[in-house]
Structure 1
């Protein structure tokens, strides 16, 4: 009962604020109609007048979205109409405001009925207790009528609030096609993540089989020959070779472990991990790190693997002389990862390594582009949402 009363009070406050905004929106609509009416036959002037009108309408929609979230527990997603300026969104915004102000006036009327009913009930109670009653049945009837109007107004508050919520979701929320596109994108990105995991496992298996395992086999053969040798000098030489082979095997094992997930990424963060990539690269790597604030673990991991894989590809295939790595925030708050080299270009975005990176980026709902014309340069760019 307490929660219901609290919700009714919050909805009532929201409808009260909505009444004020509805009056302002009605006046703005009338004013804009007066301004646009003489410009109907002048397309250029009409478009010039519509620009500030749609900007104001988007501001009103953002205000209404905040009111609905604060008092009606309706949170529109980031892609709702009014959040971004485009032709379809402007049409939805204007349509919503055209229907919103009558609904706001309806909510205000419901509140006035509730206030009037409460006033009748309180007047009947005060009159019964503190004044002399000449017509008691009229006072009783007025009190019951006031309580009945208060009850209807309470139900009307919930009804008007529900209409407000449905109108906002229906007209300025994402349309059905957008939701279907989003579902398809999530399904494909999930499948891509599974494929990327399988590709990563196969790569680790290949690295262990072709690198570390071969080193360990050679180490075992050298130790076996040294054990069977009867010549101390030959045995010593074989032990020296075995020691060198063990050092190479350990280095390759560390390389494999580093490519799986570097410990420095967890211990010191993305910048330190990228500095380690630059130090280990045989080519000079110019690193520009311009990020304000902390990043999530998922974003840091994907950004690291983008840079690491791209640097590895440049060293192996591009015949480049230098690599530029830029990590920065953009105006939308996304993390932009860019790797550029001066090699001979011709990188295939459908190759295994770049496809795996594209899948990792898609799993975070980001964008991944590869610009690599024949003759170079190659420019790999990823935008990772940080929210």
Structure 2
């Protein structure tokens, strides 16, 4: 689905069925995710093999000094440093290739334990990939033998191909299961314990509640400023014009003042609609997030490329509202401050998460700690979402948000 703002038009593929678009895009995403998982397990198998070659002699040295406290500490110090480096590398691999979010704040001793514990799991992933390659080979032998090469034993060739296909299906499940085991190992060894997790969750909820209150107060102050500086001034001017028209003894002058008053009332009504739209657009409840984002694209003075794919499952109201305000505020900031010539907006569903990306071709240098972006981060955090801003000097600026929508 694409839309272009600034020209008063917004094209949409939603009319042809977003569910169909979601079904078309989903196999591509699954294939890409599977390929990345295979690459992640292959890299993990290599690092596990290296880790095994390091862990065996290191374990023998540690076993030799186990009864000597001073010597044990001397040996454990460099081992802990190596374990921390290994854990960081593995977590980076899992995040980039397997989509596993790493925990924060783990201890060096936990990092060393994780570096040792994951060696068997990494080797298991290598074995699964080896069986996958074997199944692919057998499957290709069966396909080539049946359709390309003239063979004397067609049933054996057919059986070989079917066995290879069966092995491919099993190893595909094995890849998925190994990735899940990798995630469980990370959570079990490096993640916080139940009490620590509960304490962090309480702190997070208390912080997000305070931030939501601050965001609501800031929003109220902004609405008050909009009404005071805009609508209220228009109404005062309207009252003055009507008073002057009522006191005027010149019919032509009175008609001129009334025409000015009518124009001022039109402007006041437009500004009042703008304020009401920024508070909460009615189209968001009536037609959904996709149409509301199209309206943002149409109202923008800059061209907007809008891509929207919710997989045929519209987000629930709170998630849609948060993403709408993130887009609306981001577009407003881009128009005012970046000098951009074009804006790109992409919204897509990934399982039970809606992912948003807003990018411009402006000068960059946006401050994530600024008032507007901080308010957006608070809105997203209130729904346990993630918010990020990447704006190097010279651009481009990229704003990302992930909001649960189950």
Using the size of structure 1 for normalisation, the TM-score is: 0.58
Number of residue pairs the alignment of both structures matches = 247
Distance 1:299 1:241 in 2: 43
**Of 196, 219, 222, the match for 1:177:** 196
Distance in 2 of aligned mates of 1:46 and 1:199:
49
Classify 1:208/1:91 alpha carbon distance in 2 versus 1 (closer, same or farther; 3 Å): closer
Residue 272 of structure 1 and its aligned partner are, at CA, apart by: 0.5
Cα distance in 1 for residues equivalent to 2:227 and 2:117? 68
Give the corresponding residue for 1:381: 400
Relative distance call for 1:302 and 1:230 in structure 2 (3 A) is same
**Where do residues 39-54 of structure 1 align in structure 2 (5 Å cutoff)?**
41=56, 49-51=120-122
Task: Point out where structure 1 has 5 or more consecutive residues left out of the alignment.
Answer: 1-37, 57-81, 93-171
Partners of 2:126 and 2:211 in 1: how far apart?
A: 39
**Match runs of 1:146-185 below 5 Å:** 174-185=193-204
Find the aligned partners of 1:233 and 1:271 in 2 and give their Cα distance: 50
The yes-or-no answer on 1:232 pairing with 2:251 is yes
- C-alpha contact (below 8 Å) 1:283/1:323 kept by paired residues: yes
User: For structure 2, which runs of at least 5 residues remain unmatched after alignment?
Assistant: 1-51, 59-114, 128-179
Seen in structure 2, the aligned counterparts of structure 1 residues 181 and 312 have a Cα distance that, compared at 3 Å, is same
Q: Which moved more, 1:222-231 or 1:193-202?
A: 222-231
- The answer to whether 1:200 aligns with 2:219 is yes
Map 1:1-387 to 2 at 5 A.
Answer: 41=56, 49-51=120-122, 85=183, 87-89=185-187, 91=189, 174-292=193-311, 293-330=313-350, 332-387=351-406
Using CA pairs under 8 Å that are at least 6 residues apart, name the structure with larger relative contact order, 1 or 2.
2
1:358 shift after superposition: 0.6
Measure the CA separation in 2 of the matches of 1:371 and 1:279. Answer: 25
Runs of 4+ in 1 over 4 A off after TM superposition: 42-48, 52-56
Post-superposition offset of 1:51: 2.9
Equivalents in 2 of 1:381, 1:50: separation in Å? 33
Deviation at 1:381, TM superposition (A): 0.6
Separation of aligned partners in 2, 1:339 and 1:265: 19
User: Does the CA-based 8 Å contact 2:118-2:185 persist in structure 1?
Assistant: no
Q: RMSD value over aligned CA atoms? A: 3.1
Question: Secondary structure of the equivalent of 2:314?
Answer: coil
The one-character-per-residue Cα deviations of 1:117-165 (angstroms, maximum 9, x if unpaired) are xxxxxxxxxxxxxxxxxxxxxxxxxxxxxxxxxxxxxxxxxxxxxxxxx
The alpha carbon displacement at 1:83 in A equals 7.2
Give the 3 Å change call, closer, same or farther, for CA 52–341 of structure 1 in structure 2.
same
Aligned 8 A contact 2:121 2:182 in 1: no
Q: Secondary structure at the match of 1:207?
A: helix
Which segment drifts farther, 370-379 or 258-267?
A: 370-379
- CA distance in structure 2 between the aligned counterparts of 1:173 and 1:369, rounded to whole angstroms: 24
Q: Offset of 1:209 from its aligned partner? A: 0.3
1:309 and 1:47 mapped to 2: Cα distance? 44
